[in-house]
Amino acid sequence: LRELALTNIFPGDLLTKNFGVSRAGRVIFYDYDEVSLLTDVNFRDMPQARSHEDEMSAEPWFYVGKNDVFPEEFGKFLGLDDELMDTLLEAHGDLFEAKFWRDVQARLRSGEVIEVLPYNHG
């Protein structure tokens, strides 16, 4: 996800079934119908609930626009067990914060070309 973000790509649908690993060890994203430019997405922090009823509501009690994304909610869609989720959060917890995504957007909008290096196979 980080490398996609740095190249101005947001996959949209983060279900693990949409990702795979090639024989060469590269991560592959399969579901292109929800791909968008990272700079077109509105990354938001989750609003604080105003009441207990808001917290328990099955539907959002706040406005959600077409391009709004709440990184704090990513974990609900990944389908990882607790141990894997803890490992992911330890290594890449910033991906679950709107600030990370907005910071990358600012860099991209400023015209910065962000270098993405391949993984070390050693």
> Would residue 122 count as lying in a domain?
no
Q: Tens of pLDDT along 30-49? A: 888 889 999 999 999 999 88
Q: Which pTM value belongs to this model?
A: 0.85
Per-residue confidence band for 58, with pLDDT thresholds at 50, 70 and 90? confident
> Would residue 121 count as lying in a domain?
no
Do 44 and 68 meet the contact criterion of CB atoms below 8 Å apart?
Answer: yes
How many Cα atoms sit within 13 Å of 59 on the Cβ side?
3
Q: Distance (Å, rounded) from C-alpha 95 to C-alpha 1?
A: 8
Per-residue confidence band for 105, with pLDDT thresholds at 50, 70 and 90? very high
Per-residue confidence band for 67, with pLDDT thresholds at 50, 70 and 90? very high
Domain residues for 99?
Answer: 2-109
Q: Which residues of 89-105 are buried (b: 16+ CB within 10 A; e: fewer)?
A: eeeeeebbebebbbebb
Give the position of tokens 């996959």: 11
- What's the structural domain count of the chain? 1
> Would residue 100 count as lying in a domain?
yes
**pLDDT cut 70: percent of the chain above it:** 97
> Would residue 119 count as lying in a domain?
no
Residue 113, classed as helix, strand or coil, is coil
